[in-house]
């Protein structure tokens, strides 16, 4: 019963240093967040010891009475939060949730149509090295070359031409709302199922600050760990109970064995948090922060230095900085911001002239800093630090000091010792 520190100091040190890194840097990777301590506690609990193949009340193992309660609570909370009739909280991750959705809806060899990876789609939406690109016949749709938006008349044209069995709405890097009603109409017109992957914007949907895909889609999948702010894992919801059996068996035994009951308990906690009024207030700060950053990166001095943002702004928790006209490429911008103390990821912009490992953009998200407590004032300061860095020639030490001041003013996991 030795503590981690006593038994394995090497790993204990990694945890300690990582806590330090999360405290000292400003986390702006759009797919990341900080979970509340209650989530850390549930996830680091004895529930990790339990095998529970099956579903609540129908398990293949004895001793599931307590984990059944946790999973049933998580299911009820997910349904209530997203206005769904069905929820599956077992997917280990967003990718396995997505694999299960396709497995439930169609057969290998059938046709899918999702946003291309290069234009902001996800690997599981049909990328050629992913299971989705190998098992299914893919025709990706892209963004409009002039507006850099998903134009629904083009999506419709392509759907009529290729007649997909599943149309996928959802993205990993796209700064605007989707028109779910238009996706529904197109799906109905061509006889396709509509699957929305709301992994990125699920927190905004939960807060009522983003249109919900649930009423329009046959199936909606998500991660819990991005804007939703919970443990790293996946979720499937639907308003169509007729799909319940197929979806359940696609997750287990289709994709997975034993569910991660400690993660499911942590998911239940996160779903409770997301239903609280404070969560809506936090999501409002997320959106405000992203708008402040977009405004700063499109101000005259930024534009003059070759910086801009894709689509000229944002409706969501992220901004895609467009560096096609800047001397910095995406990799250099990511490295520079790291030096300043801000963590982001480089990201292709639509029709990017540079290769995917370099890119001409960075994706900047505000969810994690909003969880840390940032509001308009702090986001204005961060936006100025980012703009000053990206314009080039800045005093890095001075910017690093401004970042350190912000980080120090918003302590993270105070008193937590790993």
Binding site for ligand PLP (CB under 6 A): 31, 93-95, 98, 122, 124, 170-172, 197, 199-200, 223, 234
Q: Is 123 labeled as ligand-binding? A: yes
The secondary structure of residue 150, as a DSSP letter, is -
Q: Which is nearer to ligand PLP, 255 or 360 (CB)?
A: 255
Nearest approach, Cβ of 200 to ligand PLP (angstroms)?
5
> Quick one: 124 or 347, whose CB is closer to ligand PLP?
124
Nearest-approach distance from CB 290 to ligand PLP, in angstroms: 16
Tokens representing 20? 């330090």
65 carries an active-site annotation: no
318 is in an annotated binding site: no
Catalytic residue among 27, 71, 165, 197: 197
The residue among 98 and 255 lying less far from ligand PLP, judged by its C-beta, is: 98
Active-site pick, 32, 51, 151, 343:
51
Marked catalytic residue, from 232, 239, 267, 296: 232
Token duo for residue 215: 């009423």
Q: For residue 197, indicate whether it is catalytic.
A: yes
User: Shortest distance, CB of residue 84 to ligand PLP, whole angstroms?
Assistant: 18
Alpha carbons 293 and 367: distance in angstroms, whole number: 13
Please list the alpha-helical segments (H only) found in 94-151: 94-105, 131-135
Nearest distance, CB of residue 100 and ligand PLP, angstroms: 12
CA dist 297 and 381 (Å) reads 12
Active site residue 232: yes
| Minimal distance, residue 227 CB to ligand PLP, in Å | 11
On whether the CB atoms of residues 99 and 219 are closer than 8 A, the answer is: no
Q: Does residue 51 have an active-site annotation?
A: yes
C-alpha 272 chain-centroid distance: 19
The candidate with the shortest Cα–Cα distance to 87, out of 269, 209, 251, 211, is 251
- The answer to whether the beta carbons of residues 102 and 166 sit under 8 Å apart is yes
Pick between residue 78 and residue 302 the one whose CB is nearest to ligand PLP: 78
CB of 359 to ligand PLP, least distance (A): 16
Closer to ligand PLP by CB, 190 or 202: give it.
Answer: 202
Spatial distance between the Cα atoms of 193 and 33, rounded to a whole number of angstroms: 31
Residue 122 among known ligand-binding residues: yes
Helix, strand, coil tally for the chain in percent (to 5): 50, 10, 40
Rank residues 12 and 123 by Cβ distance to ligand PLP and give the closer one: 123
Q: Helical H runs in 121-217?
A: 131-135, 152-162, 180-190, 202-206
Residue from 16, 53, 284, 295 carrying the catalytic annotation: 53
**E strand or H helix at 363:** strand 361-365
Is 406 annotated in a binding site? The answer is no
**Contact residues for 230 (Cβ-Cβ < 8 A; gap 6+):** 35, 39, 224, 266, 267, 269, 270, 271, 273, 274
Residues of the binding site: 117, 121-123
Q: Give the catalytic positions in this structure.
A: 51, 53, 197, 223, 226, 232
Residues of the binding site for (6S)-5,6,7,8-tetrahydrofolate: 117, 121-123
């Amino acid at each position: 019963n030795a503590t981690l520190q006593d038994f394995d100091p090497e790993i204990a040190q990694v945890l300690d240093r990582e806590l330090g890194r999360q405290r000292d840097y400003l986390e702006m990777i759009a797919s990341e967040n900080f979970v509340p301590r209650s989530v850390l506690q549930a996830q680091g609990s004895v529930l990790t010891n339990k095998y529970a193949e099956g579903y609540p009340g129908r398990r293949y193992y004895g001793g599931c009475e307590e984990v059944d309660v946790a999973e049933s609570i998580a299911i009820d909370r997910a349904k209530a939060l997203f206005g769904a009739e069905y929820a599956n909280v077992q997917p280990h991750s967003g990718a396995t949730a997505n694999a299960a959705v396709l497995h439930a809806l169609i057969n290998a060899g059938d046709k899918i149509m999702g946003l291309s990876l290069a234009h902001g789609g996800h690997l599981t939406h049909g990328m050629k090295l992913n299971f989705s690109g190998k098992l299914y016949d893919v025709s990706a749709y892209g963004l409009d070359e002039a507006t850099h938006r998903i134009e629904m008349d083009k999506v419709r044209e392509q759907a009529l031409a290729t007649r997909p069995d599943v149309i996928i709405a959802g993205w990993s890097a796209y700064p605007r709302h989707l028109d779910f009603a238009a996706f529904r109409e197109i799906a109905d017109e061509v006889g396709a199922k509509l699957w929305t992957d709301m992994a990125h914007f699920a927190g905004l949907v939960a807060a009522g600050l983003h249109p919900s895909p649930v009423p329009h889609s046959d199936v909606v999948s998500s991660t819990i760990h991005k804007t939703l702010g919970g443990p790293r894992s996946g979720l499937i919801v639907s308003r169509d109970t007729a799909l319940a059996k197929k979806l359940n068996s696609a997750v287990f035994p289709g994709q997975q064995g034993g569910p991660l009951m400690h993660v499911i308990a942590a998911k239940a906690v996160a779903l409770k948090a997301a239903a609280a009024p404070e969560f809506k207030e936090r999501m409002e700060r997320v959106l405000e922060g992203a708008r402040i950053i977009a405004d700063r990166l499109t101000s005259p001095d930024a534009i003059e230095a070759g910086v801009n943002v894709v689509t000229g702004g944002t409706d969501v928790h992220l901004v895609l900085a467009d560096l096609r006209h800047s001397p910095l490429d995406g990799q250099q911008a990511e490295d520079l911001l790291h030096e300043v103390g801000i963590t982001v990821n480089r990201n292709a912009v639509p029709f990017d002239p540079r290769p995917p490992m370099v890119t001409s953009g960075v994706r900047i998200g505000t969810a994690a800093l909003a969880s840390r407590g940032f509001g308009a004032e702090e986001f204005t300061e961060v936006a100025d630090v980012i703009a000053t860095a990206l314009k080039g020639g800045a005093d890095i030490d001075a910017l690093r000091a401004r970042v350190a001041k912000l980080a120090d003013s918003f302590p993270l996991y105070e008193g937590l010792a790993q």
